Structure 1
Amino acid sequence: MDYLFLFAASFLSATLLPFGSEALLLYYANDESLSLVFLGCWASMGNTLGGLTNWWLGRYLVRYEHKRWFPVNPSGRAKAARFFNRYGVYSLLFTWLPIVGDGIALISGVLRTPLKYFLPLVFIGKAARYALVLWGQQVILLNGNLLP
């Protein structure tokens, strides 16, 4: 059940909702009955599917961009498209970044980036971030407090 809760929290944190999953991951990482590998995998899968939700929103909701309620104005969309086109699909490795990452996933949907590129690159970036968080937590636990 803990893995599924982490999956859900990671999913929500990757959508446009203001939510974070790292604190929950670190909380569960202190439970010796849970596998760090499984925690990282479940968090990465949930976060990747949350990014896919943003991709889907970008792909299918862009038809409403002329509406007043649409969250991105045309100049913001053009700026994001220039960034994405400048750095290409490899910018998807940075979808783990707060705020910016959601925009990268969203604009990749608007620009109809194929899923065969989107899913592996997003998963790699998000899994690397969670692995780094877990590694850092283990280093701190093994070495004690890193501050003098």
Structure 2
Amino acid sequence: MSESQSLLALFVSGFISATLLPGGSEALLAWQLSQQLHDPWNLWAAVTAGNALGGILTFLMGLILARFYPLRNLNKPRQQQAQRWIERYGALALLFSWLPLIGDPLCLMAGWLKTRLLPSLLLITVGKAIRYLIIVGLI
């Protein structure tokens, strides 16, 4: 696989993993790192960019939902937890947008609750970048 194909695959995997769809970006990154065919920092940048953009898309979906559907009482535990985190910590909670199960609802809820755009996008990106830095450092 060429480097451009590897980077594209990681970008797409990272993007899909950050939306409400399941994905395996960590496994793909770990496998590509283990093959030692490409620069680890290029792999990190590609998967981080895809994952951050996916989180940002989920945030924007929350903004769109807020326009048409005012926030009501939520009945799903993960949504309720995400709402509590955003209401308590604001955009800072988005540093944890990389967490499984709660990360996607955090991004969606932050958009729905209309947290400040630029800090939110920056914190989504930083949180996801740190996650992949840890993986790059462990392999």
**Under a length normalisation based on structure 1, what TM-score does the superposition of the two structures give?**
0.80
**How much does 1:63 deviate?**
4.8
Output the CA distance in 1 between the equivalents of 2:44 and 2:95: 17
Instruction: Tell me which amino acid in the other structure corresponds to 2:83.
Output: A
- The equivalent residue for 1:89 is 91
Instruction: Tell me which amino acid in the other structure corresponds to 2:100.
Output: P
Structure 2 unaligned spans of 5+? none
Structure 1 unaligned spans of 5+? 67-71, 138-148
**How much does 1:103 deviate?**
0.7
Output the CA distance in 2 between the equivalents of 1:79 and 1:8: 28
- The equivalent residue for 1:112 is 114
1:38 to 42, 53, 68: 42
- The equivalent residue for 2:18 is 14
2:125 to 123, 126, 130: 123
**How much does 1:15 deviate?**
0.3
**How much does 1:33 deviate?**
2.6
SS at 1:75 equivalent: coil
Quote the RMSD (CA, aligned, Å): 2.0
Change (3 A) 1:111 1:28: same
- The equivalent residue for 1:102 is 104
Output the CA distance in 1 between the equivalents of 2:84 and 2:35: 44
Percent of aligned pairs with the same amino acid: 38
- The equivalent residue for 1:136 is 138
**Under a length normalisation based on structure 2, what TM-score does the superposition of the two structures give?**
0.85
**How much does 1:64 deviate?**
5.3
- The 8 Å contact of residues 25 and 39 in structure 1, kept in 2 or not, is answered as yes
Change (3 A) 1:31 1:73: farther
- The 8 Å contact of residues 54 and 106 in structure 1, kept in 2 or not, is answered as yes
Change (3 A) 1:134 1:78: closer
Instruction: Tell me which amino acid in the other structure corresponds to 1:12.
Output: I
Highest Rg: 1 or 2?
Answer: 1
- The 8 Å contact of residues 25 and 43 in structure 1, kept in 2 or not, is answered as yes
**How much does 1:83 deviate?**
2.3
Aligned pair 1:61/2:60, yes or no?
A: no
Output the CA distance in 1 between the equivalents of 2:62 and 2:117: 13
Output the CA distance in 2 between the equivalents of 1:58 and 1:78: 15
Instruction: Tell me which amino acid in the other structure corresponds to 2:107.
Output: A
- The 8 Å contact of residues 86 and 93 in structure 2, kept in 1 or not, is answered as yes
